[in-house]
Amino acid sequence: MTEPLSTRPVGGHVPVAGGLAKVGLAYAREIGAEAVQVFVANPRGWATPTGDPRQDALFRESCAERDLPVYVHAPYLINFGSFTEATVERSVESLRHSLRRGRAIGARGVVVHTGSATGGRAREVALRQVRAHLLPLLDELTHEDDPYLLIESTAGQGASLCSRAEDFGPYFAALDAHPMLGLCLDTCHVFAAGHDLAGPDGVHRFLEELTAVTGEGRLRLIHANDSKDVVGAHKDRHENIGRGHIGEDAFRALLAHPATENVPLIIETPGGTSGHAADVELLKKLRDG
């Protein structure tokens, strides 16, 4: 797939019920997306559907023709830090499915949440479990068309393994900083976790801290979402761009920072087609000046 026309393409998560190519690409056109993210399975379940090879091929070819970067979001139930053996086993199966389906549709990355240390166990114990089950999946990514695995932090609820920038250090270490490992930054999540992106130089300070922990080139996708709640609230409630507590200035700074060059932005905001189109248009305006 060729590089997108913009070095910071802006797009959205698109629906695919009714046909990956037919519905997903039509929605992308409606909102003016330059990049797309999709689910390839029920995000709140464990099913691993095979997909439609014809739709997969059409979707992949159409996206390539339009220079449209594609990403997959893995199901929310995945948690490699769970104390429940069945959950961990299902997490392996579910993520392997998302990675394989991602390759089939030409995805550049598969996003998965970093999980939590459930059952009252120490973080170190949960991270050893992450290593035991997630590292083998990373080692399976040997095909030239395989997507990167992009880990996404949470808003800091409960016993989350990654919410603050410094949390990524132990997580990356547990996975030997694998070359197929990358980051998906959700602006609402990191704001809710306590990084004040709206404060003076807030975006710059956060990105510098993140890069210092993970190294350069690890940031491969941004979920661009404003926040309905104040900084440090530990609440994952997305708001439309510029209407929440993060604000337009922070997104303008994000789009101008060197660390975000060649990194697509995907909105996951409220509002349906009209709201999504407005958010995509506003982010393009902030990007292009």
- For the segment 209-227, the average pLDDT, to the nearest whole number, is 97
Q: What is the pLDDT of residues 228-275, one digit of tens each?
A: 999 999 999 999 999 999 999 999 999 999 999 999 999 999 999 999
Q: What is the pLDDT of residue 1?
A: 36
Q: Percentage of the chain with pLDDT > 90? A: 91
- For the segment 12-21, the average pLDDT, to the nearest whole number, is 92
**Both structure tokens of 262:** 């060649």
Supply the mean pLDDT for the chain: 95
Q: Find the largest Cα–Cα distance for the chain.
A: 51
Q: Which fold has domain 10-288?
A: TIM Barrel (3.20.20)
**Both structure tokens of 148:** 């990167």
- For the segment 143-159, the average pLDDT, to the nearest whole number, is 95
Pairing state between β 238-239 and 226-227: antiparallel
B/e letters for 74-104, b = 16+ CB within 10 Å, e = fewer, are bbebbbbbbeeeebbebbbebbebbbbbbbb
Q: What is the pLDDT of residue 231?
A: 98
C-alpha to C-alpha distance for 68 and 2, rounded to whole angstroms? 9
Q: What is the pTM of this model?
A: 0.96
Q: How far apart are the first and last CA of the chain?
A: 28
Q: What is the pLDDT of residue 289?
A: 85
Q: What is the pLDDT of residue 5?
A: 53
Q: Percentage of the chain with pLDDT > 70? A: 98
Place of tokens 């087609």: 273
**Both structure tokens of 42:** 């029920």
**Confidence bin at 2 (pLDDT 50/70/90):** very low
Q: What is the pLDDT of residue 245?
A: 98
C-alpha to C-alpha distance for 193 and 229, rounded to whole angstroms? 11
Q: What is the pLDDT of residue 6?
A: 73
- For the segment 117-127, the average pLDDT, to the nearest whole number, is 92
Q: What is the pLDDT of residues 67-83, one digit of tens each?
A: 999 999 999 999 999 99
- Among the ranges given (42-46, 154-158, 176-180, 255-259), the one the predictor scored with the smallest mean pLDDT: 154-158
Q: What is the pLDDT of residue 56?
A: 94
**Confidence bin at 120 (pLDDT 50/70/90):** confident
The domain locations on the chain are 10-288
